[in-house]
Amino acid sequence: MQGTCDTCGNEYHDVMEITQGGQTYTFDSFECAIQELAPKCPACGVRIVGHGTERGGDVYCCDHCAG
Ligand SMILES: [Zn+2]
Ligand SMILES: [Zn+2]
């Protein structure tokens, strides 16, 4: 599917669509999807791509940040 990336504005012939919270986003790469959608670790600011570590209702990137 032809489309334009919501993160970087790149026009690409094979974009992906991801729906989150009822809104649909268009991305040309996983990198751009992560940049737009992945939550940030409140301790160090890193994008949390995996399941992370939950503590007190917040999700942290690793045990070190959650501790
Ligand atoms: Zn992009
Ligand atoms: Zn962290």
Identify the domain containing residue 44 by its residue range.
3-66
pLDDT tens-digit map of 8-67: 999 999 999 999 999 999 999 999 999 999 999 999 999 999 889 999 999 999 999 998
Ligand 1: distance of its center to the CA of 30 in Å? Answer: 8
Ligand 2: distance of its center to the CA of 40 in Å? Answer: 8
Query: Could you list which residues have their CB under 5 Å from ion ligand 2?
Result: 41, 43-44, 46, 61, 65
Ligand 2: distance of its center to the CA of 56 in Å? Answer: 15
Question: Which residues, 6+ apart, have CB-to-CB distance to 46 below 8 Å?
Answer: 40, 61
- Number of compact structural domains in the chain: 1
**Model pLDDT, residue 6:** 97
**Model pLDDT, residue 51:** 87
Residue 61 near residue 41, CB atoms below 8 Å: yes
